[in-house]
Amino acid sequence: MDDVYDVAVIGGGVVGCSVLFELTNHGYKCVLLEKSPHLLTGASCGNSGMLHTGFDAEPDSLELRCIQLCQRRIADVFQKLGLPYNRLGARMVAWDEKQKALLPRVVERSLHAGISDIEEISISRLYQEEPYLNSGACAALWIPGETILDPWMTPIAFAHHSKLKGAKILTDCRVRGLERSYTNQWEILTDKQTVISGAVINCAGLYGDIVDRLVNQQSFSIQPRKGQYLVYNRNTQHLLTSSILPVPTERTKGVIVFKTVYGNVVVGPTAEDVDQRDGMRTIIDPAVTRRLISHAHSTIPLLKTHSVVHMYSGIRPATRQKDYQIKAYPERNWITVGGIRSTGVSACLGIAEITRKHLLEGLKQEPSGTPVSELEQLQFEYSSPGLMKVFDTEYTITHPITLCGLSRPPASL
């Protein structure tokens, strides 16, 4: 008989890795099942790597609640695990009177979200602080809490730390079917082996609805939304001191000009509804590229003198609903953590905390082990192109931000 676990987490994206970290730290015996050969190959390897404060999140949403919970803890976790991050702040710039008229609503919404340090700044201060910004700005907001992080290293650290504390991580391990045993446990049929677990947490991201369907559940369906980016060399980093945000619309946060924790200036993401969950990520649309280049040049004109060194894209696990789809099914010991479309990094520890509460209070599933008393500092070593060692385990880097930051840009996506 294979090992028996308290909890099986399906999916090794940022959400699955964060849930694994939270539950392992609280004494649950966990296994993570990932269908790909490496962790972070879905939505989580094509994002912006920004830790948003939630200033523009939907008021009273579960998404905002998760972001707020994450904000309370994440800086401490970054420091304890030894992860890079930078609280650079962001400047939201209105380029015409119509956009300017929308700024008071952004401030109002952010106050409602409990973010009180957002402020309108004068145009002279804007240009003093962002001297390379194009002329013509009408108004701007300063949002000091917006932070950049390494979007690959962070979830990898969560996964590796969990492994150090006893969790099992199985890659190349697609979940193909699930059955309830006569002892009321889940028998999870995978590519590799059958796994037995008390509870199951579906963190399958872009495939969340499909994994739910394996147990005849269907409360949402994924509507993939693509976002494309341009990456500039690290020698552009002096052109920005913060992330330059557009005024958001109902549908999207818009295209951001930002720099990564490694100093590459990045422009993106776009937002296009697409009909495929996987293949679309590697297709770079030339028309979208032209739009991004024009956005880059009209925001920071000096970017015209630099070349784009890489392009990448990611697919958001969006749904028809705006909010996250986190649902507990106590009668079958199942939790679905789905539809985490555009803030999964910013909310990761909050999503994990809420999931743990569902597990304990809704499913009444107690941990079989003892909680982890202290987080351990991890040692990352960039061992060879495309690979990173954490102590003696080698991980394949799947996120272009980390790849471009640590080495020459990847030849292909």
Q: Which residues bind ligand FAD (CB under 6 A)?
A: 10-16, 33-36, 41-44, 46-50, 52, 174-175, 203-207, 211, 227, 269, 314-317, 340-346
- For β-strands 168-170 and 30-33, DSSP reports them as parallel
250 vs 374 by CB, closer to ligand FAD = 250
100 vs 174 by CB, closer to ligand FAD = 174
The residues, any chain, with a CB within 8 Å of residue 51's CB and separated by 6 or more, are: 70, 74, 85, 146, 147, 148, 149, 345, 346
Host H or E run for residue 27: none
Residue the block writes with tokens 């996250």: 324
Q: Residue 410's CB: how many other CB atoms inside 10 A? A: 15
Host H or E run for residue 209: helix 208-213
If 0-12 CB within 10 Å is exposed, 13-18 middle and 19+ buried, where does residue 282 land? Answer: exposed
Measured CA to CA, the distance from residue 118 to residue 57 in angstroms comes to 14
Closest by CA to 306, choosing from 375, 386, 240, is 240
34 vs 56 by CB, closer to ligand FAD = 34
5 vs 139 by CB, closer to ligand FAD = 5
- For β-strands 387-390 and 243-245, DSSP reports them as unpaired
Closest distance to ligand FAD from the beta carbon of 277 (Å): 8
Closest distance to ligand FAD from the beta carbon of 211 (Å): 5
35 vs 310 by CB, closer to ligand FAD = 35
List strand residue ranges (DSSP E) for 218-333, in order. 225-232, 243-245, 256-259, 265-268, 272-273, 308-316, 325-329
Closest distance to ligand FAD from the beta carbon of 130 (Å): 20
Which letter does DSSP use for residue 273 in this model? Answer: E
| Greatest CA separation for the chain | 71
Yes or no: say if 171 and 41 are a contact pair by the CB < 8 Å rule: no
Closest distance to ligand FAD from the beta carbon of 48 (Å): 3
Closest distance to ligand FAD from the beta carbon of 124 (Å): 30
214 vs 303 by CB, closer to ligand FAD = 214
Closest distance to ligand FAD from the beta carbon of 96 (Å): 25
29 vs 277 by CB, closer to ligand FAD = 277
165 vs 341 by CB, closer to ligand FAD = 341
Closest distance to ligand FAD from the beta carbon of 210 (Å): 7
139 vs 277 by CB, closer to ligand FAD = 277
Q: What share of the chain is helix, strand, coil (3-state, %, to 5)?
A: 30, 25, 40
